[in-house]
Amino acid sequence: MMMKKILLVLALIFGTTLIAQNNKTIYQFKVEDINGETFDFSSLRGKKVMIVNTASKCGFTPQYAELQHIYEQYKYKDFVIVGFPSNDFGNQEPGSNEDISEFCQQNYGVEFPMMAKIKVKGDEKHPLYQFLTEKAKNGFKDSEVKWNFQKYLIDQNGRVVAVKNSNVLPNDSEIVNWIQE
């Protein structure tokens, strides 16, 4: 009888752990968009998502054009890009949200959702980026945002499935193949 109770307790503990791990999704987050409105990640259920930290004065800034092209090409196929401006690397995003929005629109015609400027590293790291970079929170792996235009790929269940460094272009065959799967 005692053994059955112990097994039941262990099943409950491990079952709860598995359920908790299965709930590690981006859908728990609400963030501020670049216009000051609330953006609820739960609205992206069923879509593949690329989250990318951006900057207007970076050597990788031309990736905005490729991001926009990929977004236009696949937005009707349950894919979305979400941009997060950040000034964490080399003071390469010094402007206000309004400045960033204007820059993105005028120079690259950005139509994918852009969020308010945030911290993607350090003690003030935004909770979403804590989730993206910490295995204990995302259930995938630990990572570090190393520079502007690092990409996090999120599957249609809201789970992190890949991290791509800045030098991996948005139209890289691995990313495009993933979108098309």
Greatest alpha-carbon span in the chain: 72
DSSP-derived 3-state class of residue 81: strand
Q: Which domains does the chain have, with CATH numbers?
A: 47-180 (3.40.30.10)
Residue position matching structure tokens 């054009």: 65
Distance CA 152, CA 145 (A): 10
Residues of the chain with pLDDT under 70: 1-23
pLDDT at 56: 97
pLDDT at 76: 95
Q: Which residue has the tokens 């609400």?
A: 30
The continuous run of DSSP H or E covering 153 comes out as strand 151-154
pTM over 0.85: yes
List the structure tokens of 4.
Answer: 């059955």
Which pLDDT score, from 0 to 100, does residue 87 have?
98
Residue 181 CA to residue 94 CA, distance in Å, equals 37
Instruction: Count CA within 13 A, CB hemisphere, residue 124.
Output: 6
Report the catalytic residues.
58
